A and B are shown apart, each in its own frame.
Chain A
Amino acid sequence: MRIPFVGVGLLVLVGGGAGVAGAQGWVTDARRIGLGGLGLDQGSLRRYNAAYRAVPGRAGQRGRPKLTIPIPLGLIQFFHDHPLSNIKNDPAFNHDSAGFNPVELLNTFLNPPLFLEVKKAPTPTNDVVFGIGKDSLRLNLGLTAQLVPEDQFGIGGSSRPLDPGLSIKGVRVGVMGWVHDDVGFQLGDKLLGFLRDSVPADTNTRYNVLGDALLEVGFAPTVAYAGRIAGDSTTGLYVGGAFHYYVGLAYVRVNGDGGFTTGDSIFSGPSPVKPDARGLTQYSKFGNSFGHGVGGDLGIAVVTGPIELGVGVNDIGATITWPDTRRDSAFYRDSSYSRPLLPNHIETKTKLPVSYLVNLAYTVGKTTLGADVLNSGRGTTVHVGGEQRVGVIVLRGGVARDQRKRIELGWGGGLRFGGLGLDVGFWTHTNSLSNQRGITMATSLSIY
């Protein structure tokens, strides 16, 4: 049963599941995890709202940590369970092992074991039933069929890993690093019916999966402004904007369509199925000519006493033009392979996704409550949460609606001693290939 197609399936699953992984975004801060993914501190709000550079810290807020270091308890457990010295023979990774379970492997990918899984989502154990006849093939996945994605699924978004700069009187000059990644898959209608609705395979029919992936990186010299245009420090209106000149260092985009076509008969004849695949790769390597583009961010924030409301939009109009793009194509059909020549060194364009954040925070005494709606390029997430400070202890809780429109919960707490803070956060997730939620415990150390 260890067949190459398992690998194919895995690859597709990686894409599919990755959509799941991206559902709540990658968060390494236990404080934020404890808030159900809500970014309450101004540091995370500044990423999406240019006006927040001017908004002062809230009364009672303990300040922003200079550094937050995740404590990788999950990695310790993982390498204890899967020692590197024996990784080749580890049943979890060796597909020849009788104990190998591709779904478990995928779950490891979807839930990188940085933090401890205190409740693992159960590995699915469905029986899979194939009905086979000379002219028929039917697949019954049982309850698993409910997880077959009907729409496009994938992972993606834009991020700004570095943003150093200098500010003078609200004007900031800096250089921002940017990364945009996007991977998506979509099952063709026929394959979807075969997998999800247990529709029998038909003769002379193509079953396929469409896939696309994009990765581009670069930097952007930036001039930004953020300031209060009305009011005072307790009640004020803040605006911000940034102009970016995007310089693309490298990019690669892959579009593919793979599948198989049935013959005149499902199970007879010399070639009952003919696999085929076609792919187009466009890329501009590091060191090749730079991509160029312009775009901007806008933000507005209103502070009225204990209430804070903000709206930020990023990467407006950010289209990158790559003047020297190489293109490769490949075509495979039933054991024959060709690489049709395409015009090369052409100009192509990519577009950074417009991301936005709408946030609301309410602070009273030692309690802060907040909510946000975030879209960073692939789907919208909603977070609602709050924290309560009691002496050196902070208690947190939150609820989120992830990109799969599932409700997730977060809770946790922290201790702060002088310049050092230790935080722990729990959150439920459906990042696994399962209908049931798992629970992750995150721990992090913050230096203030």
Chain B
Amino acid sequence: MKAKWLGVALGCAVLAGGAAGCGQGRAIFNVDVYSFLKGTGRDTLRLPPDPLPPLPPSTTVTDSVTPIAVNLPGAGSSIVDTVRLIGTLDVTNPTSSGTLTYQIFFASSPSPAVVYGSAPALTVGPASFPAATTSVPISAPNLAAPLRDLFKSSALYVGIRGTISNTGTTGLRTTLKLTQLQATIIIQDKIF
């Protein structure tokens, strides 16, 4: 159904006619993935998850969110040339220092087993963080070809998994909060 929207939009784009040459006639979709996560609680990972106590030193905990759907245009048989991801992750109010690994998964199925059973599209870390709020950039210049092909469908499911290890001497509790995640999808298919 979401493809319908984009179909309409694309039809309108074609409707609009041609123009002087600039660019290469590609369709570029700037998808604000974060907007689909925001307000659902799935942009945030509380580690260790409530109601568990703070993570003791030299231990590790992992948690993930229930996959969430992101609507895409549906590129059919077109070639997805590039899928670029950029974003920002905040490590909020950690009670100790530690290291984190933050992984983003994409799959065509909403099943957590499928989403988290595949290789992560993007892994941030392992990266150390101090006992203070820190922003960690997320960046992937281009996803692997099999993952890019997932962006041809009209719906994509996003999973997020975070792992933290306590390298400090006191118990660690923190919140990994995504504050921005944007996918730029470049489709090598001449509209004009």
Give the interface of A toward B (CB within 8 A).
1-10, 12-13, 16-17, 96, 98-103, 106-107, 122-137, 139, 141-148, 191, 194-196, 201, 207, 209, 260, 266-268, 270-273, 275, 432-436
Contacts and interface: CB of A to CB of B under 8 A. Distances in A.
Given A1-B78, A1-B191, A134-B36, A435 B19 contact: yes
6 smallest CB-CB distances across A and B, nearest first, come from A5-B11, A124-B18, A127-B23, A9-B14, A144-B19, A433-B18
Contact of B23 (A98, A131, A135, A142): A142
12 contacts: A2-B78, A3-B10, A9-B10, A103-B14, A125-B23, A130-B30, A141-B19, A142-B23, A195-B12, A196-B16, A268-B71, A273-B5
Interface residues of B, number: 49
Interface of B: 1-32, 35-36, 38, 71-79, 187, 189-192
Nearest to A2: B76
B16 A141 contact: yes
A82 B58 CA distance: 71
Interface centre among A7, A10, A125, A432 (most CB of B within 10 A): A125
A195 B10 CA distance: 10
A147 B16 contact: yes
A16 B192 CA distance: 16
Contacts of A147: 16-19
Given A102-B14, A128-B28, A131-B30, A267 B21 contact: no
Contacts of B72: 132
A153 to B, nearest CB: 10
B87 to A, nearest CB: 14
A197 to B, nearest CB: 12
Contacts of B16: 141, 144-145, 147-148, 195-196
B25 A127 contact: yes
A404 to B, nearest CB: 13
Contacts of A16: 15, 17
A209 B14 CA distance: 14
Contact of A134 (B23, B32, B189): B32
A10 B5 CA distance: 17
A194 B77 CA distance: 27
A133 B32 contact: yes
Contacts of B191: 1, 102, 126, 128
Nearest to A145: B16
Contacts of A98: 78-79, 189
Contacts of B15: 8-9, 12-13, 16, 195, 209
A137 B5 contact: yes
A13 B17 contact: yes
A132 B13 contact: no
A2 B77 contact: yes
B36 A126 contact: no
A146 B19 contact: yes
Nearest to B38: A134
B18 A103 contact: yes
Contacts of A128: 10, 13, 26-28, 191-192
Contact of A3 (B11, B20, B28): B11
A16 B15 CA distance: 8
